[in-house]
Amino acid sequence: MNFDFSEEQQAFLKEVQAFLDANDDPEIFDPTRENMAQIVDTPKRRAIMKEMGRQGWLGMTWPKEYDGQEGEGVYEYLLNEELAGRGGPQIGKGVGIIGKTLIAHGSEFLKEEFLPKILNNEVEFAVGYSEPEAGSDAAAMKLKATEVKGGWVLNGQKTWTTSAHFAEWYWVGARTDPDVPKWNGITLFLVPLPTHPDPPFDISGVTVQGIWTMGDERTNDVFFDDVFVPDEYVVGDLNKGFQYISQALDLERFTMFTYSPVKQRLDLLVDHIRSTERDGVPLKDDPLVRARVAHLAAEAEMARVMGLNVVDATVKSEASGGPPPTIEASEYKLYTTEFSKRLANASMDLGGPGTQLRVKTEDAPMEGRAESTYRYTVLDTIGGGTSEVQKNIISRRGLGLPKAF
């Protein structure tokens, strides 16, 4: 594969950078939000995404029949990485997970209802897979969907649903057939959330309760109590939801765990070492410090190249009409999020006792970024499938090893 960007791609990147420079606003761009920067939870952040929609930057890889540009995935990669590096909202769930799944499997009703809104950034989604007894094993979900005349009645609970407290729609998996193997009895639904200004059907049985994480971010429990969902809001074929979820997770593992913030944190650490003395000796002259930073820099480059490998595999799969690159996405997600933890550990070690001060403390080393990333990088190894799940995917699908149970 070619690791260099073409002249057209570099020109697009400069166009994006100029747009973001012109719209720079600390309420929109905040690098300290770490990898939750893709959350579009304020009017200003929604407005900037809407403007990017007007630029034609949302859905660039979508087919032209759905107002996309049929462009290569590298353009979405460049846009997403530039946004992530500035702590801005990213193209996220709507364009990738929901939009691409609807294009591939959704009914004409759902396509007409949601695809234009996604391209214009007029709608936000929450994604509901995890449950109290079905975290990384999405196939074990138990949220019950009972068929009734004209639709389905949902009962049960989801957990760890980021965005449910402000998104308008819930992309949620439920068990529609309990009598088949667990991965064959799940169906996807689109359900309005309590923040929807004008839900098309009654959602009084939907309740959202907040959970605050160790990374200072809110996620949620979502409860369903006899919620009727019309047949029109079933996504794709009945009992095929797990297959759709698996493909969507391949997209999530890459697009929601971007490389740019990791590189930014490495640069902050390097700048700190260049300008700091310990016991009268510059840190940059300590051979042990230099060796550790050199190792981190090599690992960062590995993460960057693995990300480009996912882009290359995605372009090839789109050209052939195949599914997203499962193995490459899992390799990238596993390596990059685990490296991010190692980098956070090194920042705490090399920054000294002051790194325990909270983020945005001006007189703390690296203005407190080490402390926040030390907490937050743990979450990155869980979201989108834990590191253990990624290892299982790589071992079974990539190496052909048998299941452990």
Q: Residue holding tokens 């449950």? A: 131
CATH number of 126-239: 2.40.110.10
Tokens, residue 319: 């050209």
- Contact of 358 with 371, CB cutoff 8 Å: yes
Q: How far apart are CA 96 and CA 203, in angstroms?
A: 26
- Contact of 226 with 157, CB cutoff 8 Å: no
> What pLDDT was estimated at residue 50?
92
Among 356, 389, 352, 318, residue whose Cα is nearest residue 100: 318
- Contact of 131 with 138, CB cutoff 8 Å: no
> What pLDDT was estimated at residue 140?
86
DSSP 293-328: HHHHHHHHHHHHHHHHHHHHHHHHHHHHT----HHH
pLDDT 10s digits, 280-305: 889 999 999 999 999 999 999 999 99
Domain 257-398 CATH superfamily = Butyryl-CoA Dehydrogenase, subunit A, domain 3 (1.20.140.10)
> What pLDDT was estimated at residue 404?
61
Q: Residue holding tokens 């667990």? A: 182
Domain assignments of the chain as residue spans, ordered by start: 7-90, 126-239, 257-398
Low-confidence ranges of the chain (pLDDT < 70): 1-2, 35-38, 136, 250-255, 404-405
User: Which ranges of 6-87 does DSSP label H, i.e. alpha helix?
Assistant: 7-22, 43-54, 73-85
pLDDT 10s digits, 240-266: 999 998 877 766 666 678 899 999 999
> What pLDDT was estimated at residue 405?
54
Q: Do domains 126-239 and 257-398 have the same CATH topology?
A: no
How many other β-carbons are positioned within 10 Å of the β-carbon of residue 47?
15
> What pLDDT was estimated at residue 344?
95
Q: How far apart are CA 153 and CA 280, in angstroms?
A: 69
pLDDT 10s digits, 40-55: 788 898 899 999 999 9
> What pLDDT was estimated at residue 305?
94
> What pLDDT was estimated at residue 37?
52
Q: Which long-range contacts does 52-59 make (Cβ < 8 Å, 24+ apart)?
A: 52/19, 52/79, 52/121, 53/119, 53/120, 53/121, 54/120, 55/19, 57/16, 57/91, 58/91, 58/94, 58/95, 58/118, 58/119, 58/120, 58/121, 59/95, 59/99, 59/115, 59/118, 59/119
Count of H-run helices and E-run strands, the chain = 12, 10
Q: Is the pTM of this model over 0.75?
A: yes
Task: Indicate the helix (H) or strand (E) that contains 174.
Answer: strand 169-175
